[in-house]
Chains A and B, each alone.
Chain A
Amino acid sequence: MTRSIRTELLKLRTIRLPLGLLATAAGLTALVTILGAARAGGSGHMAPPPLDTAAGLTAMLTRNGLGMLMAAVFGVTVSSGEFRHGTATTTYLGSPGRVRVLIAKAIVAAGVGLLFGLVAAGLTTGISLAFVAAKGDPVALGWGTIARFAAGAILGSGLLAAAGVGLGSLLRSQLAAIVTVFVWGFVIEQIIGGLFDSTQPYLPYTAATTMAGATLGGGTSPLPFAAATALVAGVAALLSAVAAQTTVQRDIA
């Protein structure tokens, strides 16, 4: 397994896509945080609360959902990229144990996904606190809370990246898997959560964002941190397990 993990890491180090996705995630996270912080306390009904309030600072610190979703997209590319470029043949000739390869990919993607979360959390925290400092406002949240939000974003991103590996293995089509990630995160979960408030904490992407401190609409309470972590990890494991039993075993023709 160690060799498989080292191989997967070397694969990622020798292509540009992971850095490109990380840069995209960082850019989008920085953009939405800056735009939000600039409008915080403004007059429009869509404007976030002022940054000197706990709600306002929380709203800015948790603007890392897009970065977390990009971690899932990264995970998708780790597995489905093998089929997009036809490299699955070479991979399975070198490592015929397909489930072992899948597990190695999930572990490595989760590890790199932590980096996506770290960058996203670092940017939201840094930009938010910079705006707070620029306005001379007090920091409305305790440092422990801010650290917990960051830790949640990091862990949630890692788990979403692992889930992305499972999804990419299951669908094989990179485009279909990436579209699925965005449609699931931005459309399906929003519709389900909007129709049934009580389901929100149990929706995997939403649960990952609550790990990073996001609040839920309709006064719904998020799952406790450990339970949310277990839920997202469970989804990642389930996707990989289903893929291992089905698509991963298919012919490479």
Chain B
Amino acid sequence: MAVIEVRGLTKRFGPVLAVDRLSFEVDRGTVVGFLGPNGAGKTTTLRALLGLVRPTAGTATIHGRAYGDLPDPLRHVGAVLEASNFYPSRRARNHLRVQAMAGGLDPARVDEVLELVGLQDDAGRQVGGFSLGMRQRLGIATAMLGDPEVLILDEPANGLDPEGVRWLRELVRGLAEQGRTILVSSHILAEVAQTVDSVVIVDRGRLVAQSSLEELTAGARRVVRVRTPRAQDLANALDHDGVRVERVASDRLEITGATPEQVGMLAARLAIPILESTTEAANLEDVFFRLTATTTEVEGSR
């Protein structure tokens, strides 16, 4: 059952079409990566989902309701948006106390979430003195105050050092194991690849793919590299079967569009000796870059 539903979401900021008829769903208890290059409309979509941005058209709902219509929303949805959304002279514990009071939450949760993110020793410090990583942790603590079933995380790894990224990955994995529904955005697929069940990929505000990681790579290109003394014969045979072959050396071929088994069987049938065979599976990053190539190229050319 879909917990998060985005249907025909469109958001225009003046002449800029930030989100263009975007539709996707996130099922209960799944972790979904919301991916796309910078400027793809991820943050706008998440903010529309959280009632911070008013859609030009379409809907974005959680449990079938707009965020603002949820009773005590912090009990249902936790969100991490930006690491800079703190009053600098307010102490970390007080920031959480304020949000707990706003959400009608148990004040005892404040110390629990501080411990969850490892900030219990810094709770009395002013947030203005926090590093970016500590602010991200405080943001996650804020999101967890209401022990919500749904978590929406916008680029949560931004500003985290490698140790912090690993901590975040383990935290998200732990939260997912508790059965929470998590939508986590990133412009770096590798950041979320180890944590998510599936991905929603957007480019220039439009949906370009929604699938599991396995499905994403299954249909993708992979390269079989073979070394054979009869490279030209094998190349001719493969070419005859409509397989794309590139002769990269006198005894080496790079074959695209055929499995290693198909290449091996064909070579055996023609009695062509194969001295070496390797397969390079499609890289998730490659798939991601291919799907979002248009925007990347446009941005790169600016």
Q: Mark B59-96, 1 if CB is under 8 A from A, else 0.
A: 00000000110100110000101101111111100110
Q: Mark A78-98, 1 if CB is under 8 A from B, else 0.
A: 000100011101111111110
Q: Tell me if A16 is interfacial: C-beta within 8 Å of chain B.
A: yes
Which of chain B's residues has its CB closest to A3's CB?
Answer: B104
Residues in B with CB closer than 8 Å to A91 are 102
Give complex CA distance A86, B74 in Å.
19
Which of chain B's residues has its CB closest to A251's CB?
Answer: B53
Number of residue pairs across A and B with beta carbons under 8 Å? 80
Q: Tell me if A17 is interfacial: C-beta within 8 Å of chain B.
A: yes
Residues in B with CB closer than 8 Å to A81 are 87
Which of chain A's residues has its CB closest to B55's CB?
Answer: A251
Q: Is the CB of B52 within 8 A of A251?
A: yes
Q: Is the CB of B51 within 8 A of A14?
A: no
Which of chain A's residues has its CB closest to B67's CB?
Answer: A96
Give complex CA distance A14, B52 in Å.
25
Q: Is the CB of B54 within 8 A of A3?
A: no
Q: Is the CB of A252 within 8 A of B88?
A: no
Interface pick from A4-12, A134-142, A147-155: A4-12
Which of chain B's residues has its CB closest to A6's CB?
Answer: B101
Residues in A with CB closer than 8 Å to B84 are 86
Q: Is the CB of B44 within 8 A of A253?
A: yes
Q: Mark A48-86, 1 if CB is under 8 A from B, else 0.
A: 000000000000000000000000000000000100011
Residues in B with CB closer than 8 Å to A94 are 73-74, 99, 102-103
Q: Is the CB of A251 within 8 A of B101?
A: no
Question: In angstroms, how far is the closest chain A Cβ from the Cβ of B178?
Answer: 21
Residues in B with CB closer than 8 Å to A195 are none
Give complex CA distance A211, B52 in Å.
41
Q: Is the CB of A93 within 8 A of B47?
A: no
Residues in B with CB closer than 8 Å to A253 are 13, 44, 47, 52-53
Q: Which of A85, A96, A249, A251 contacts B86 (CB 8 A)?
A: A85
Q: Is the CB of A87 within 8 A of B47?
A: no
Q: List the 3 shortest-distance A-B pairs measured between CB atoms, nearest first.
A: A94-B102, A96-B68, A14-B94
Chain B positions within 8 Å of A, measured between CB atoms, are 13, 44, 47, 50-54, 67-68, 70, 73-74, 79, 81-82, 84-91, 94-95, 97-99, 101-104, 142
7 contacts between A and B (CB under 8 A): A3-B104, A10-B101, A14-B90, A14-B91, A93-B50, A94-B99, A253-B53
